[in-house]
Amino acid sequence: MYNKTIKELSLLLKNKKISVIELTKIFLDRIKASNLNAFIHVDEELTLMQANIAEKKIISGNNLTQLTGIPIAHKDIFVTRHWKTTAGSKMLANYISPFNADIVERLKKAGTVMLGKLNCDEFAMGSSNENSYFGPVKNPWDYSAVPGGSSGGSAAAVAARLVPATTASDTGGSIRQPAALCGVTGIKPTYGSISRYGMIAFASSLDQAGPIAKTAEDCALLLNVMIGFDKRDSTSLQRKNEDFSYGLKKNTKGIKGLRIGMPREFFNVNLDTDVQHGIYSALKEFEKLGAKLVDISMPKTNLSIPVYYVIAPAEAASNLSRFDGVRYGYRSKNYKNLVDMYKKSRTEGFGEEVKRRILIGSHVLSRDFYNIYYLQAQRIRRLISEDFQKIFTGPNSCDVIMGPVSPTVAWNIGNKRDPIVNYLSDIFTLSTSLAGLPGMSIPCGFSVNKPIGLQIIGNYFKEAQLLYIAHQYQNITDWHLKKPKL
């Protein structure tokens, strides 16, 4: 049962081949037996209460969706009633929200059953899941390796078959990169498509929620529920209703004539030989399906790292100022006055990477450096967005862009202690986030038993196209069906 897709499980539940409670207990037992450190908070009683409600819906046959009775788990960056929401930080280690995040509520109404909250880098700041106050998550393919970050718990849990699907968030690649390193499928939709209401903010102009699952088809089913306008989020987009799973049906026309852009800057860097081979092999499969490969240039790719690590820390410094030890969160036990309480609460409550980014952000926003760093970074961000539009709408336009997600496969825990070295692992994902474009990662090979991910980037609101392309690839390959030996 734990190897089946959401689509397969939904049919079994609907036909009463298995009950919601039986299915839920299968996954709860797997979580108990796991030592990946993927989950921060599990409450079997709360989970089985939701399973009972879903079971009654299926028995009655009323208001059923394809997600009714499907167990899922949420990245611990989305607030949840009755469950702890820690953001992977000591600052919020015991926090329980009085309300649900928008996507938590949407998925709950669709009938999903929540298995628990998933480990992540503290406040979603990191590329390896080593920055969590609750310890690093292990990669199920190699317990000595990282699962990627910040949504490492989400990707590892799906890869290890602890849960059929999870929510995740992507600020600079935090859905795509862990999905790639764990051999699962993940998609970041167009910025503003999924409400940020109830998502603990890291960088507000970049944060975007999305799903991680085994297949593109499962991601489509989740996006059908997750995407929608929310008046409580000022960045929420009003989009027409779209069935993302409709175009994945077998009787569709295929991808003959699809123009795939291959940015030479994505391949002219220090790519691992096996990663490069895996990406080229995947691109050859698309050629066999009738697609055309087009050589393109994205000359500002190398600028995405400095631009991101100016803008994101600046927004983080602003967003995290609310954690002061006064209203909620960790408060130091020993302080002399109010200012001393602020200092000690933040010093003791935040981890090293979070403090580093707050300091960087405060520096670039200061009066003497605002114009030099922050304003200049925003200008270059606009140029990066324009580069994408030239590719998607110019005279020699491409339908999608493809390339690697990460320069390497998963590295060993502790191998990239230097934060600058860690930041460089995001070089292929940051520009997509800065432009607010949709992007996804799908498994396309292995290097020494570690998964390789293929990145697919599309123009605004082209999630359905990305999912369709990914689905066509997954119809002729079986990389997405591979599972680690636990």
DSSP letters, 335-357, are: -SSHHHHHHHHHHHHS-HHHHHH
338: Cβ–Cβ under 8 A, 6 or more apart, which residues? none
Tokens 């090293």, residue located? 352
Q: Is 75 considered catalytic here?
A: yes
Q: Is 150 considered catalytic here?
A: yes
What pTM does this model have?
Answer: 0.96
For 348, phi then psi, to 5°, come to: -85, -30
Average pLDDT over residues 2-23: 97
pLDDT for res 251: 46
Whether residue 165 is predicted with pLDDT greater than 50 in this model: the reply is yes
Whether residue 269 is predicted with pLDDT greater than 90 in this model: the reply is no
Percent of the chain with pLDDT over 70: 99
pLDDT for res 253: 64
Q: Which two tokens stand for residue 168?
A: 């995740």
Of residues 98, 212, 196, the one with CA closest to residue 155? 212
Name the packing angle between helices 216-226 and 6-14 (round to 10°). Answer: 70
Whether residue 245 is predicted with pLDDT greater than 90 in this model: the reply is no
Of 10, 19, 75, 89, the catalytic one is: 75
Whether residue 43 is predicted with pLDDT greater than 60 in this model: the reply is yes
Sign of CA dihedral 59, 65, 70, 72: negative
Q: Is 355 considered catalytic here?
A: no
CB of 19 closer than 8 Å to CB of 71 = no
**How high does pLDDT run on average in the chain?**
95
Classify residue 125 as exposed, middle or buried by CB count within 10 Å of its CB (0-12, 13-18, 19+).
Answer: buried
Q: Which two tokens stand for residue 460?
A: 């605004």
- What SS3 class is residue 478? coil
pLDDT for res 396: 87
- pLDDT tens figures, 385-443: 999 999 999 888 999 999 999 999 999 999 987 888 888 889 999 999 999 999 999 99
- pLDDT tens figures, 122-150: 999 999 999 999 999 999 999 999 999 99
Whether residue 27 is predicted with pLDDT greater than 80 in this model: the reply is yes
Whether residue 252 is predicted with pLDDT greater than 70 in this model: the reply is no
Give the number of other Cβ atoms within 10 Å of residue 371's Cβ.
9
Whether residue 261 is predicted with pLDDT greater than 60 in this model: the reply is yes
Of 89, 150, 245, 433, the catalytic one is: 150
DSSP letters, 362-409, are: HHHHSTTTIIIIIIHHHHHHHHHHHHHHHHHHSTT--SEEEEES-SSS
Of 127, 128, 174, 431, the catalytic one is: 174
The span from the CA of 450 to the CA of 176, in Å, is 16
Task: Please indicate whether residue 155 or residue 425 has the higher confidence score (pLDDT).
Answer: 155
CB of 338 closer than 8 Å to CB of 464 = no
Q: Which two tokens stand for residue 358?
A: 């707050």
